[in-house]
Amino acid sequence: MPSARPSKGRGQLCYLWLSVLALGLDFATKWWAQAALHYAMPKPVLPFLNWTLLYNPGAAFSFLSNQGGWQRWLFSAIALIIAIIIVRLLAKIPRQQHMAAIGLSLILAGALGNVIDRLRFGYVIDFIDVHVAGYHWPAFNIADSVICIGAVLLIWQQLRKSDKSSDKK
């Protein structure tokens, strides 16, 4: 019976190019937002979408944003630990699990994109403002988007994996 664990050096580190690409897109869009937008001044794009430059010193949904600065270091440390774990996981993922490797690579890019902002500025640059009937979703950025896409891909991979194992029974 073949081992579920790949032999040394056979993981999915080849997908790190996707992390670099997503990280570059995140940096480019944040640079654009700071250059083209005025802080907290919405620029309508579509009936449900504005570009609105905002700075988030907290985590998702501005969690702990008014805590005096210590959260910057906590969230940075957590993101760096997650990044190390993801790289180690990528090195161990079997070759046939492409969806998981893509998902982890996207999560890695998002985590690094936001932690770099947090370390450089003390906050994360957000600019995508989605709204419906006057209700605004918390502003986000490309890093947040690729984290969500990566998480969906990981969940999808797991669901497909459990479907295949239940079919064998």
Q: Render pLDDT for 48-92 as a digit per residue (tens, 0 to 9).
A: 999 999 999 876 655 555 556 667 788 788 999 999 999 999 999
Residue 43, helix vs strand vs coil: strand
* pLDDT of residue 103 exceeding 50: yes
Q: Of the listed 126, 129, 163, 167, which one is catalytic?
A: 126
Q: Of the listed 26, 117, 129, 144, which one is catalytic?
A: 144
The pLDDT value given to residue 3: 47
- Is there a catalytic annotation at residue 26? no
Rounded CA-CA distance 14/10 in Å is: 10
Rounded CA-CA distance 105/86 in Å is: 8
- Is there a catalytic annotation at residue 126? yes
pTM reported for the whole predicted model: 0.85
12 band by pLDDT with thresholds 50, 70 and 90: confident
Q: Of all residues in the chain, what percent carry a pLDDT higher than 70?
A: 82
Token pair, residue 167, equals 């079919």
* pLDDT of residue 25 exceeding 80: yes
Backbone angles phi, psi at 118, to 5 degrees: -60, -40
Is 93 buried (19+), middle (13-18) or exposed (0-12) by CB count in 10 A?
buried
DSSP letter, residue 51: E
Q: Of all residues in the chain, what percent carry a pLDDT higher than 90?
A: 70
